[in-house]
Every structure is written in C-alpha cells, then in structure tokens.
Amino acid sequence: MNSNSTGAVPQGAQDVLTRYWDTLCTWRDDVWLGWHEGLDRYVASLEAFVGAPPGSIVTDANLSTLLTRIASCFDYRAPRNRVLTTHLEFPTVPFIWNAFRRYGAVVDVVGSGGPRFDEDALADRIDERTLLVCVPHASFSSGATLDLPRLVARAHEAGALVVVDAYQSIGVVPFDVTALGVDFVLGGAHKWLCGIGTAFLYARPDLLPDLEPAATGWQAGDRALSFQPSTGWADGAQRFAGGTPFPLTALVSQVGLDLLAGIGIDTIRAHSLACTDRILARADAAGIRVVSQVEPDRRGGVVGLDVPDGEAVKRRLAARNLICSWRGYLRIGPHVYNTLDEIDEFMDALEEELQENRR
Ligand SMILES: Cc1ncc(COP(=O)(O)O)c(C=O)c1O
C-alpha cells in the first residue's frame, strides 16, 4: 500500500537490466543511438499518457533538477517577482524557492499548517505581483488534493504561470496537461508510474520559445549530437535538458508505463476509487480520522489517516509485511496491483495495532 512512496516495478524490468548489462559487455560507440531511441520512446509514451503534444516533455534524474531549470528561466524583477506556494509541498520545493530569493524571488507560503490546502487563501493571494504559482496536485504528506482548474483560471486571469508538482497523482489519477491548460507539470517514475530513478517536465508549447533556462547543459543546445558548441536552443522541451542522460532508468521505467497505459487510466482510477472507498469505509467504522478528501472527484490515490503514534504503527505493520508510510500522517496508497482483500487484511492489522496502542 506504498505506491505513494515507491511503486512496484514489473518483472519485465529484469529483461531490460539483462539487456543493459549485455550492452555494456559488448560496448560500441553507436550504442548511444539505441539508448537515445529508448529515451525518446519513453518521452513519447509519457506525452501520450498525460495528453501532452509531441516535444513538450523532457526527462532528467529527478524533479528537483527540473524545477531548478524552470526557476532559472525568470529574472524576478519587481513588481512581478512573487512565487506563491503552499505549506504542503514536498521539501525540495521550498528549498529551491528559498535559494532563488538571492535572485529576487519573493516567496509566499500560503497555508494553515493543517492537512488540507487553504484553497480560498491561495486564490485570494494571487495578484499582479505573482509570477509563478508552484503547487502540488496532491500533498505528499496528507494525500489532500488541490482544485487545479480553479487555480489555473485564477492564476492566468492575473497573468501568473502555474507549476504543478504532480508526482503524487500522475499514474493513478487522470491528468491531462492540455485540458488543464497548466503551464508546467513535474512528475516522476518511481511511485505511481512503477518505474525507477527518472523524472519529467512538461512545458506548455507556446511558452517554450521565450524560456531560456540558466541552469542548463549541452543536451539543451541545437547542435548537441553533432558535438559542436550550440548557438541556439534545441527544439521543444529538450531546451530544458542538462548533461549526458542516464538511459537505464528510462528503459526500465518504460516497462511500468507500458503496463499502466495498456490497462488505461480510467480503469486504474476506477480500481483506485474502489480501494480507497474500502479504506474510507473501514476507517469510518473504526473511528479513525481521515485527513485527505473523501469526495470521489477530489480524492487522490492516497488516503491520509491521522493515527496516534503513527510512525511506530507503520513500523509494526511493516514487521507484518504490510507496507505503508508515515509523513506526519499514515499514508495508504494502493495501486492497480492491490486487491480489496489485501485492503481488508491491511485494515484488520491496522485496527489491531491501534488497539495495541491503547493498551
Ligand atoms: C510531491 C513530490 N514531489 C517530489 C518528490 C521527489 O522529488 P525529487 O525527484 O527531486 O527527489 C516526491 C517524492 O519523492 C514527492 O512526493
């Protein structure tokens, strides 16, 4: 029940690892051609999965690297120099924005400190000084979600751009970057996309010609593969690339993505809702406080539970081979490979552990 932390990687990944090792053993320089094809195929599959046009996604090692590249496109000149964010970000987000204070970014954190987003306060705080609104789609700690259409509409009305960290939703919640009209989307493979060690950035295609990241590398240039110094930018989102890519993680992650795409996001979502319905019903019956949204149209893939001594409870569950995680709240994140019987087994054990707490 831990896909919000690390998703399961399909067995087909083992063949990819074997082929990679064979490639290393019989190395020829033109191996890179095949590896680049593999990287391009992964990007194309991601684009299809999130409704992004060709050339609008780039991959790199992690989300932090890609968010920094976005941040490095702007000059933070007053009056439009504010970055609005929330108190429910994954820690890399405030860390990066705080670093950009030295370039003039004024960072404004909106939120109550509780498990939910303060969506009214966020919408109210957007004005003509707002350059970027940088928010998660779903909180990594509580599982709470944000109403993105409302936020994107408000931000665009004020002339601000929206950066969404969708690491905790893409793969389990339908997410169409074009339909949402969002400006930047970040996500990664090793949770709900059943991959390893790779992250991605979508940038709205019409913005791309004006975006020039200062944090960059030779693969972002227009002459990268001819090994000449570039004079301009590569086409599309490739201008957000950095240095030499690491193909293995994309090749492995392709297996999980193909599997999920084959099942289809609507089927995945229906199963996820059935699983979270069951968790919610069991939590309700046991009197456990739910901190994530319960309405189906606002629910993410995670149910966040507020339980006493949650970290110890998580450890005792793990000792019983029932894996979830605790980040201030107990996070239960079933995916398409979990069954309702497993959920009952998990919730039975959770109730027992909570009773143990009371003794
Ligand atoms: C919401 C969210 N953003 C980002 C990350 C990871 O960021 P990075 O790839 O930079 O380690 C995580 C979890 O690992 C996350 O839950």
Neighbours of 15 (CB within 10 A): 11
Same-domain pairing of 105 and 253? yes
**Side chain identity, residue 158:** A
With a 6 Å cutoff on the Cβ, whether 168 touches ligand 1 is yes
- Output the pTM of the full model: 0.97
Residue 113 has pLDDT above 90, yes or no: no
Whether residue 212 is found in the same domain as residue 326: no
Q: 268 and 257 in contact (C-beta within 8 Å)?
A: no
The whole domain housing 326 covers: 264-358
Domain count, the chain: 2
User: Given 220, 242, 261, which residue is the final one in a domain?
Assistant: 261
CATH of the domain at 115: 3.40.640.10
Query: Do residues 322 and 249 both lie within one domain?
Result: no
Are residues 236 and 283 located together in one domain of the fold? no
CA of 359 from ligand 1 middle (Å) equals 37
Report the pLDDT averaged over residues 295-305.
97
109 CA from centroid of ligand 1 (Å): 18
Residue 2 lies in a domain: no
**Pairing of β 199-203 and β 330-332:** unpaired
* Boundary residue ending a domain (232, 261, 290): 261
228 and 287 in a single domain? The answer is no
Helix (H, G, I), strand (E, B) or coil at 331: strand
Instruction: Determine contact, residues 124/110, Cβ cutoff 8 Å.
Output: no
In the block, tokens 């240095």 appear at 243
- Does 131 reside within a domain? yes
Residue whose token pair is 């930047």: 184
Instruction: Say yes or no: 220 and 271 in one domain.
Output: no
pLDDT tens for residues 55-103? Answer: 999 999 999 999 999 999 999 999 999 999 999 999 999 999 999 999 9
The whole-number pLDDT of residue 357 equals 83
Q: Which two tokens stand for residue 12?
A: 């087909």
Q: For position 331, which CATH number holds?
A: 3.90.1150.10
Ligand 1 centroid to residue 94 C-alpha, Å? 12
Residue 347 lies in a domain: yes
Whether ligand 1 lies within 6 angstroms of the CB of 140 is answered as: yes
Query: Quick one: which of 262, 238, 258 has its CA closest to 250?
Result: 258
Both 309 and 195 in one domain: the answer is no
In a domain, 1, yes or no: no
134 within 8 A of 183, measured Cβ to Cβ: no
Residue 358's pLDDT is what? 81
Which of helix, strand or coil describes residue 122? Answer: helix
Q: Report which DSSP code applies to 44.
A: H
The atom number, within ligand 1, closest to the CA of 67 reads 10
Q: How far apart are CA 162 and CA 185, in angstroms?
A: 8
